[in-house]
Structure 1
Amino acid sequence: MAVPIIPILKKIGTAVLSSKKGRKVVGGIILGSLVLLMTPAAVVLGIFSGSMDINTDGVQTIVKDRQATEEKRYAEIEQAMTEAGYSEIKIREAQAIYSFALFNLSGDDVAEKLTECFLAETDEELAEKINGAFYTAFSVDEISAILESVRQEYG
């Protein structure tokens, strides 16, 4: 005695598709299957099309310009802090703060402002002075983490 399968599937399909949740589940399964089938095809087409050009010269120029700017800032910070009588570790701390927190600032007075901030005696005061001088909102923990990494490296 064979059980007719088509009427059973029809009843299940009607029950599932008649509810909103059932339609969402079926739609999700169909969409997921399509994505799984189309992704490898898109990857293969992308690999073999060869029409994508990458401007590595432009990227290298930008990187070199940024490195030159950072090296210039480092030298300015070192000169300003040396003239103010700071130790080597304080100079490295200032350079680290510039690299990690103030790298996007422009202007000729960044080194002088940063040097003045190091008149602070504690990390809390330093964070306050940096936030006030550069209009930033760094927490004491962020500044302390930068300083601590320099102190471990050079101290």
Structure 2
Amino acid sequence: MRSWRARPPRSSRSWGGGAAPPPPPPRGRPPPPPGGGVAGAALPGTTSATLAAGGGRAYTPPPTELGLLAGTTVAAVARLAERAGLTGGVTERRLALDELRAAQESMLVSSIRGVAPLVRLDGRPVGSGAVGPVGITLRDALERAVRRGVLD
């Protein structure tokens, strides 16, 4: 019986020049389509969701479609957006990184940062380069809800 420290047997197959073999594809998940699957897409951060706003609507990438857990803070912000009068609310849909760059407003949403408007992305201004009305409205609505202890 092997202990947990035992190494698996080495393959006698040579990969040339000591280079490591390519990693096997993940089990249970098909490989990404040619072109990368998420290449060029705006993705949620490790501890935040991404929002792009324009034309009275806000969009966020769908975390569960990407194999991620849905965020509780972005869900609360979506409910608050409807109450605050953001006509289209917050809709989950795939976003291209170019859409995030070209949006009138972009922001990160997390339980630590709250609603953090982005004024620059990749060194270029987002929208007007200043915090916009949607960012201010959502930030203030979330801060008020947190102070009252009511996020639903």
More strand, by proportion:
2
Larger RCO (CA under 8 A, 6+ residues apart): 2
Output the TM-score relative to the length of structure 2: 0.26
More helix, by proportion:
1
Select the structure of larger CA radius of gyration.
1
